[in-house]
Amino acid sequence: MKTIGQTLWAIPGGHIPLRGTGHEPELTSHDLVCLLNMNDRDAHIKITIFYQDRDPVGPYTLKVPARRVRHVRFNDLIDPEAMPLDTDYGGVIESDVPVVVQFTRLDSGQAENASMSAMAFPVDEPQVLPDKAKK
Amino acid sequence: MKTIGQTLWAIPGGHIPLRGTGHEPELTSHDLVCLLNMNDRDAHIKITIFYQDRDPVGPYTLKVPARRVRHVRFNDLIDPEAMPLDTDYGGVIESDVPVVVQFTRLDSGQAENASMSAMAFPVDEPQVLPDKAKK
Amino acid sequence: MKTIGQTLWAIPGGHIPLRGTGHEPELTSHDLVCLLNMNDRDAHIKITIFYQDRDPVGPYTLKVPARRVRHVRFNDLIDPEAMPLDTDYGGVIESDVPVVVQFTRLDSGQAENASMSAMAFPVDEPQVLPDKAKK
Amino acid sequence: MKTIGQTLWAIPGGHIPLRGTGHEPELTSHDLVCLLNMNDRDAHIKITIFYQDRDPVGPYTLKVPARRVRHVRFNDLIDPEAMPLDTDYGGVIESDVPVVVQFTRLDSGQAENASMSAMAFPVDEPQVLPDKAKK
């Protein structure tokens, strides 16, 4: 059986916003992980959360059935412990079959906010920076 | 003939916002798939929609002529069935020639909203998480 | 001499917003291409614009000096012709030395807008979708 | 020992917004680099900043301990020199062990702003653009 996607994904920029405005739960501020399982087999997912100043916490486990998508708010991860708000974290997603993973955030905290995000671009060759940088 | 791009693309984080504000259709809340065909041949596209709790729906078919771009709102996909609003989905795009695909969302629902998105970063090696995660 | 990055980049989702609010030119709505040249050689850039209903236009030419970054608004591309506002387009960037390219948009049109974007995830294997999709 | 991620990352689209609104420092406008170190070894990071009209500045050095995440505002980089606001820049991140890097921006300058970002998609084959572009 052919499978598609990848089995290990990383999200370095997690941070669930503290404040929110609008209809709940639809407009509650949240970080969201979106898991797409295009395979004919169920995907068993393990999420581990990395923090700035303590050991990783996990695994949070969940299932994405065959040929289904599942969107999970980090806000709703409670076992082995509830995710803290307003705290820097990184999420790592492991799956037993290949999946595709997208990260989104809704911040409904105040009208003035605009936000954007992108993974940095990974370059293959190491040690290429010019020596002439001002020190 | 040389061709450029990829023939299979995945968007796990689809969700057309329910509410909108402002000039229609320009500012109607929407999810958008942007297809760039740099080749000298037409691209025949098939979009399949994956849901959380029912079988995939598709294919939605469309054409991107040679050396053209085409931006299509998921809101406007109606055959084989109209796309539902306010529903989690994942979109999978197949093309018979390589194309490049970008996903964007406009949410004009309320002033307080700010949103961001990024694909998670796919890591090659499986089974690397530290054993010391708190359980 | 070592070089880093890539020489051909694609942005399918271009669309310069029509309306804007706030200090000009800082807060004028715009699409932006950000070019990073980490090399010790100048990068000569050619941008070609793909449209929905007419032939591609270009090349727009510009230079990014060695070890410099350059942010260019699509709004400011005028030769061989001025870029239209409120029009779907795709941008393709060619460089004679490898560079890294990021796309950003500022839409200052109305308070209610929130926007996000991500490249779709390219999957390697073609023809993998389940046959059981509803037709 | 296995390590995961990449050792060189590029962010072409840096620009710390000048204005901000709301609680400080939480809602101060900022550019943010998010570093995830999943390894069992500390990561020693060097950040170099590329500008439009002067030589690169760096390295800014920092450490991400083993199995930790660290989110650093470019606004807070002060040695060898404070980062300027409202200035185009590109950031390059080097690490002695593989890490994963995400870039985010919060712009709290005015309610009307919405923003998005994505890396352009790198295409492998060079010199593929059609010759028929209008000149």
- Dump pLDDT digits (tens) for C52-81: 999 999 999 999 999 999 999 999 999 999
Q: Which chains touch D (3 or more CB pairs under 8 A)?
A: A, B, C
Distance CA B76, CA B63 (A): 15
Question: Which residues of chain A lie closer than 8 angstroms to D37, CB-CB?
Answer: 50
Task: Give me the pLDDT at residue D1, please.
Answer: 40
The CA-to-CA distance between both ends of chain B, in Å, stands at 55
Task: Give the mutation candidate from B45, B55, B69 for the C interface (greatest C CB count, under 10 A).
Answer: B69
D117:C106 CB<8 A: no
- C45 in Cβ contact with C63 (< 8 Å): yes
Q: What is the mean pLDDT of chain B?
A: 90
Is 60 exceeded by the pLDDT of residue A134? no
Structure confidence at residue B127 (pLDDT): 41
- Among B94, B108, B119, B128, the strongest candidate for a mutation testing the A interface, having the largest count of A CBs within 10 A, is B119
Name the residue among B117, B122, B125 with its Cβ closest to that of A103.
B117
Q: Is residue B113, in this structure, part of any structural domain at all?
A: no
User: CA A23, A25, A29, A31 torsion: positive or negative?
Assistant: negative
Q: What is the ipTM of this complex?
A: 0.91
Instruction: Say yes or no for a CB contact (<8 Å) between C116 and A123.
Output: no
Interface test with B, best of C105, C113, C127 (most B CBs within 10 A): C113
Domains held by chain D: number: 1
Tell me how far apart the alpha carbons of residues B1 and D125 are, in angstroms, rounded to a whole number. 12
pLDDT tens across the length of chain D (135 residues): 456 789 999 999 999 999 999 988 989 999 999 999 999 999 999 999 999 999 999 999 999 999 999 999 999 999 999 999 999 999 999 999 999 999 999 999 999 999 999 999 998 654 445 455 554
C-alpha closest to that of A33 among A88, A85, A74: A74
The rounded distance, in Å, linking the Cα atoms of D73 and D115 is 18
Tell me how crowded residue C41 is: count the other CB atoms within 10 A of its CB: 14
Give the contacts of A54 (CB within 8 A, at least 6 positions apart).
none
Question: Which pLDDT belongs to residue A57?
Answer: 98
- pLDDT value, residue A88: 98
| The pair of three-digit structure tokens given for residue B66, joined into one six-digit string | 């040679």
Contact D133 C57 (CB under 8 A): yes
**Which chain B residues contact residue A79 at CB under 8 A?**
none
* Cis ω before D59 (30° cut-off from 0): yes
Residue A101 included in any domain:
yes
What residue of B is the nearest CA neighbor of A35? B12
pLDDT tens for residues A14-71?
999 999 999 889 899 999 999 999 999 999 999 999 999 999 999 999 999 999 999 9
Q: Is residue A94 part of a domain?
A: yes
Portion of chain B with pLDDT greater than 70, in percent:
89
Total count of residues recorded for chain D: 135
Instruction: DSSP letter for D28, please.
Output: S
Cβ-defined contact of C129 to B71 (cutoff 8 Å): no
**Average per-residue pLDDT in chain C?**
90
Which pLDDT score is estimated for C127?
40
Nearest C-alpha of chain B: how many angstroms from C85? Answer: 13
Band of residue C123 on the pLDDT scale cut at 50, 70, 90: confident
pLDDT tens digits for range A86-99: 999 999 999 999 99
Cα Dmax for chain D: 55
Q: Which residues of D touch A119 (CB under 8 A)?
A: 100-103, 119
Residues in chain D closer than 8 A to C35 (CB atoms):
12
CA distance A101 to B122: 8
Q: Peptide bond preceding A25: is omega within 30 degrees of 0, i.e. cis? A: yes
Contact B125 D4 (CB under 8 A): yes
Host domain of residue C67: 6-106
**Measuring CA to CA, which residue among D58, A61, C21, C110 is closest to residue B108?**
C110
Tokens of C34: 């950000």
pLDDT score at D123: 85
Chains that touch B (3 or more CB pairs under 8 A): A, C, D
Burial status of residue D84 (CB atoms within 10 A of its CB: 0-12, 13-18, 19 or more): middle
Task: Report the percentage of chain A scoring pLDDT > 90.
Answer: 81
Do residues D103 and D68 lie in contact, with contact meaning Cβ atoms separated by under 8 Å? no
CB contact under 8 A, B58 and C130: no
Question: Which residues touch C44 (CB under 8 Å, ≥6 apart)?
Answer: C61, C63, C95, C96
Compare all CA atoms of chain A with the CA of D78 and give the residue at the minimum distance.
A135
Distance from CA of A134 to the nearest CA of B (A): 32
In a domain, B23, yes or no: yes
pLDDT score of A128: 45
Give the CATH number for residue D40: 2.60.290.11
Q: Which two tokens stand for residue B121?
A: 């970063």
Backbone angles phi, psi at A49, to 5 degrees: -105, 125
C58 inside domain: yes
Q: What number of other Cβ atoms are within 10 A of residue D25's Cβ?
A: 10
Which residues, including other chains, have CB under 8 Å from residue C57's CB and lie 6 or more apart? C48, C49, C51, C80, C81, D133, D134
- Whether residues A102 and B132 touch (CB distance < 8 A) is answered with no
pLDDT at residue D126 in the model = 44
Long-range CB pairs of B21-24, under 8 A, 24+ apart, other chains included: B21/B108, B21/B109, B21/B110, B21/C110, B21/C112, B22/B108, B22/C109, B22/C110, B22/C112, B22/C113
**How many other β-carbons are positioned within 10 Å of the β-carbon of residue C78?**
9
- Tell me: pLDDT of B129 over 60: no
Dig out the tokens for B1 from the structure: 């003939």
Which residue carries 């299979």 as its tokens?
B8
Cα separation, C21 vs B58, whole angstroms: 40
Q: How far is CA B109 from the centre of its chain?
A: 20
Convert B39-59 to b/e letters by CB count within 10 Å (16 or more is b).
beeebebbbbbbbeeeebbbb
> What is the token pair recorded at D96?
């002695």
Q: Is residue A68 part of a domain?
A: yes
- The enclosing H or E element of C8 equals strand C6-14
Could you tell me which chain B residue has the CA closest to the CA of D106? B114
Mutate to test the interface with A, among D102, D113, D115, D119 (most CBs of A within 10 A): D102
Of A109, A118, A126, which is closest to D119 when you measure between CB atoms?
A118
Is residue D134 assigned to a domain? Answer: no
Taking the alpha carbons at both ends of chain A, their separation in whole angstroms is 55
CB A10 within 8 A of CB D102: no
DSSP structure string for D51-98: ESSS--EEEEEEEE-TTEEEEEEGGG--SSSPPPSS--EEEEEEEEEE
- The token pair that represents D1 in the structure block: 């020992």
Nearest CB to A67; choose among B55, B122, B125: B55
D43 against A126, higher pLDDT: D43
Task: Give the alpha-carbon dihedral of D19, D23, D26, D29, to 10 degrees.
Answer: -10
Residue D112: CB partners within 8 Å, gap ≥ 6? C20, C21, C22, C27, C108, C109, C110, C111, C113
A54 within a domain of the structure (yes/no): yes
Q: Is B69 close to C112, i.e. CB distance below 8 A?
A: no
